[in-house]
Structure 1
Amino acid sequence: MTEQPAPLVDPAVPPSGTGCAECDATGGWWLKLRRCAACGHVGCCDSSPGQHATAHWRATGHRYMRSFEPGESWWWDYAAESYAEGPELAPPTHRPVEQDSPGPAGRVPENWHQLLH
């Protein structure tokens, strides 16, 4: 039996959490959040110090990410380096509205704007 490749998009999979998984594990912080459309992994954007969403794509090949910010519904295709379209994903579709950006509260340094990429 041949193993089937993982789907490019799985609309049923929920997000991995309310913040960047790697930043949460290491005590880091983020500017904006992105959600993997294949596995639900939440990572930080390329302006954030960790750039974990892009690192997730490089490590897994999961090419489609969707913004995980309130009021944003755009998609990004890392392989094509362009915006994309996709189906509605399982809720929640964004970080909690009360969660700060940059965030999370208490971990963002005062000079955060100088630390962005």
Structure 2
Amino acid sequence: MSQAIEGIDPTVPPSGPGCVECEAARGWWVHLRRCAQCGHVGCCDSSPAQHASRHFAETGHPFMRSFEPDEDWFWDYRSNEMFGEGPELAPPQHHPRTQTTPGPAERVPGDWQNHIHTD
């Protein structure tokens, strides 16, 4: 995947260090995903609100990349397939290492495991 790929813009930085919608609603997330086309950071499908998948449903932007430290895989929503190689995206490559998972720590309920999606 070293050539230009429709649906991936490597020049666009991420929207911020956390899920855009969860931040606005003072919510929390399990893991973060970054849209490879527009930089929108949303929460993963294990998270209560599943904003990354909602972003795909609303925009049709087909690729996302993990926004977790030490993870560099991409996901293609159209084929439901993960792939490990892709273009280097604009920095930062992940949320701050000091940010907890799940996070942010001050908003994660003590019984957070009871609120996640496991399928």
**TM-score scaled to structure 2, two decimals?**
0.91
Cα deviations by residue, 1:13-53 (Å, 9 ceiling, x for unpaired): 00000000000000110000000000000000000001000
**Aligned equivalents of 1:113 and 1:95: distance in 2?**
21
Find runs of 4+ consecutive structure 1 residues off by over 3 angstroms.
none
Coordinate RMSD, CA, aligned? 0.7
1:105 Cα deviation from its structure 2 partner: 1.6
What SS does the aligned partner of 1:106 have? Answer: helix
Asked whether 1:100 is paired with 2:96, we answer no
**Aligned equivalents of 2:88 and 2:44: distance in 1?**
20
What SS does the aligned partner of 2:106 have? Answer: coil
**Which AA in structure 2 matches 1:98?**
T
**Aligned equivalents of 1:113 and 1:105: distance in 2?**
14
**Aligned equivalents of 1:100 and 1:83: distance in 2?**
24
**Aligned equivalents of 2:7 and 2:102: distance in 1?**
29
Write out aligned runs for 1:1-117 (5 A): 7-84=6-83, 85-117=85-117
**Which AA in structure 2 matches 1:105?**
A
Runs of 5+ unmatched residues, structure 1: 1-6
**Which AA in structure 2 matches 1:93?**
Q
**TM-score scaled to structure 1, two decimals?**
0.93
1:64 Cα deviation from its structure 2 partner: 0.2
What SS does the aligned partner of 1:35 have? Answer: strand
1:86 Cα deviation from its structure 2 partner: 1.7
